[in-house]
């Protein structure tokens, strides 16, 4: 399926840094609660991320991630996820984070 480039431009994908990662035992599928700093323009946002197969809680703080920041908040059990943290499925369906390969200013836009 093709989409018009104008539709892609509506998706606001930014770089953020995980400042806190917590267990999320109430989630139906294994997930972590992430607190992500998207820089001075957007500030701190929270996200539920199903990344438990490849990442331990202690390894996440300080990592750069990419997230869609202009979706409406989504209620996930007792938690409100404000951004969609992006990743790709590996061969077994587990999520691998989509990340910039160089240090990038927080809040930078994908284009």
The verdict on residue 60 lying in a domain is yes
The verdict on residue 106 lying in a domain is no
- Average of per-residue pLDDT values in the chain: 96
DSSP element (H, E) containing 8: helix 5-9
The verdict on residue 111 lying in a domain is no
pLDDT > 90? residue 19: yes
* DSSP string across 6-47: HHHHTS-EEEEEEEEEEE-TTSSS--EEEEEE-HHHH-EEEE
Could you read off the pLDDT of 64-90 as tens digits, one per residue? 999 999 999 999 999 999 999 999 999
The verdict on residue 109 lying in a domain is no
What local confidence, expressed as pLDDT, does residue 109 receive?
Answer: 96
Report the domain count for the chain: 1
Could you read off the pLDDT of 37-72 as tens digits, one per residue? 999 999 999 999 999 999 999 999 999 999 999 999
The verdict on residue 110 lying in a domain is no
The verdict on residue 67 lying in a domain is yes
What local confidence, expressed as pLDDT, does residue 41 receive?
Answer: 97
Residue 89 maps to which CATH number? 2.40.50.140
H-state helical runs in 10-54: 39-42
Expressed as residue numbers, the domain containing 49 is: 5-97
The verdict on residue 48 lying in a domain is yes
pLDDT > 90? residue 111: no
The verdict on residue 105 lying in a domain is no
């Amino acid at each position: 399926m093709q989409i018009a480039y104008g539709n892609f431009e509506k998706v606001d994908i930014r770089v953020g840094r995980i400042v806190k990662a917590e267990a999320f035992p109430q989630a139906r599928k294994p997930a972590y609660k992430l607190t992500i700093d998207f820089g001075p323009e957007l500030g701190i946002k929270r996200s539920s991320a199903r990344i438990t197969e490849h990442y331990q809680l202690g390894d996440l703080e300080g990592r750069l991630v990419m997230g869609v920041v202009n979706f409406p908040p989504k209620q996930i059990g007792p938690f409100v996820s404000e951004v969609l943290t992006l990743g790709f499925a590996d061969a077994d369906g587990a999520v691998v984070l989509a990340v910039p390969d160089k240090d990038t200013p927080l809040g930078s836009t994908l284009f």
